[in-house]
Amino acid sequence: MRDFIIRRLLYAIPTLIGISIITFLIARLSPGDPIRLFTFGIRDFTQADYEHLLHVYGLDKPIPLQYVDWITNALRGSFGESLIYHRDAFAMLIERVPATLQLAIAALLLQLVIGVPLGVLAALKRGSWIDGAIRVFGVAGHAVPAFWLGLILIIVFAVHLRWLPSIGLLTVGHDQWDIVDRIKHILLPAFVLALTGIANYSRILRTETLDVLAQDFVRTAHSKGLRERTVVFVHALRNALIPVVTALGGILAALVGGALVIEQVFSWPGVGQFTFQAAIAKDYPIVQAGVMFTSTLLVLSYLVRDLAYAMVDPRIKVS
C-alpha cells in the first residue's frame, strides 16, 4: 500500500510538469499581448514606451527562458504579479477560491440530496412511470446545456417571479453574514452546476439499489421481518454509496473546474470567472496561476480517489 501511494505521488509529478508546460505555452504563444491592450489610446504613449514596458515585464525574452523563470518562481511559491493589477497573482486567485468552493460544495450537496433519493425511488418503483420519468431525466440531465438552463431559470425565477436574485453572491449593501440572502443567491447557480451530477447519481443509485435488492442478504433481512424501507436505506444505501463517496474528491475538483460557464452566467465572483476575464485581458500570470491551481487540485483529487478505491475495495487492481 505504501509503495502504491509513493508510486502514485511520483506519477503525479511528471503530470504536473506536463500541465505547467501546457499552461505556459497556451498563454505565452497566443497572439497579441497585454501591454498593447491596456495602453491602447493613452496619450503620448509611444512605440518606445511600449518596448520598454515589454522589457520591464520580461515579455521580450525568448519563451523557454520565460518558462524557466516562471517555473523557478512557482516552485518558490510565487506565480508572479498580475500585469494589470500589479498584485501577487496567486494571492488574488486565493481571494476568489472561497466563492467557487461554496458553489461547488452547494452543488455537491444538492447532487446528494436530490440525486440519491431519486435513484433509490426509481429502483423501488421499478417499472412504473416514476421509474421511467427518472430514467429519462437521467439521460436528459446530461443533454441540457448548462448555460441555457441558467438563463431560463433566471428568466423564470428572477425576472418574472422575482423570487430569487440572478447576480453575484450577495445583494449590495447586505451584511456578509446574511445567510438567507446568501442562500437565495447560491440556489440557482448551484442547482445548474449540480444537474449532471444529479442525473448521474440517479442512474448509479438506481442500478446499485436494484443490485442490492436482489442480493441474498436483503432477502435474509426481509425474512427477519424488517420493513423493506429499513432494509433499503440501511443496507442498500451503505453499499451503494461507496462509489459515490470515493469519487467525492474528484467530483469536487471537477466542479471547481466546470463552474466557469455558470460563474459567467450568474456573474459569480469565483476562480473560474476570474481566470477567464484574465485570459480575455491577456493577464498571463493570473491565467497561469488559475490553470495550475485548478489542475493541481484535480490531479490531487484523482490521487485521493484512487487511494480511496484501493482502500475500500481491495479487489480492484491497484496499478
Binders in 185-214 for other proteins, by CB under 8 A? 207, 211
| Least distance in angstroms from the C-beta of 37 to other proteins | 6
Calpha distance 169→176 (Å, rounded)? 10
First to last CA, the chain: 11
Collapse the DSSP code of 88 into the 3-class scheme (helix H, G, I; strand E, B; otherwise coil) and give the result: strand
| Least distance in angstroms from the C-beta of 169 to other proteins | 9
Q: Does 4 bind other proteins (CB under 8 A)?
A: no
Q: Give 55 or 229: the residue with its C-beta nearer to other proteins.
A: 55
Phi, psi of 106 (to 5 degrees): -60, -40
Say if CB 88 and CB 81 are below 8 A apart: yes
C-alpha distances in Å from residue 72, one per residue of 18, 57, 232 = 15, 16, 55
Number of residues that bind other proteins (CB under 8 A): 89
Q: Which of residues 220-259 bind other proteins (CB under 8 A)?
A: 253-254, 256-258
Q: Give 127 or 173: the residue with its C-beta nearer to other proteins.
A: 173
CA atoms within 13 A on the CB side of 30: 15
| Least distance in angstroms from the C-beta of 106 to other proteins | 18
Which of 128, 215, 220, 267 touches other proteins by CB under 8 A? Answer: 267
Which of 2, 3, 10, 31 touches other proteins by CB under 8 A? Answer: 31
Q: Give 226 or 276: the residue with its C-beta nearer to other proteins.
A: 276
Q: Does 178 bind other proteins (CB under 8 A)?
A: no
Neighbours of 263 (CB within 10 A): 24
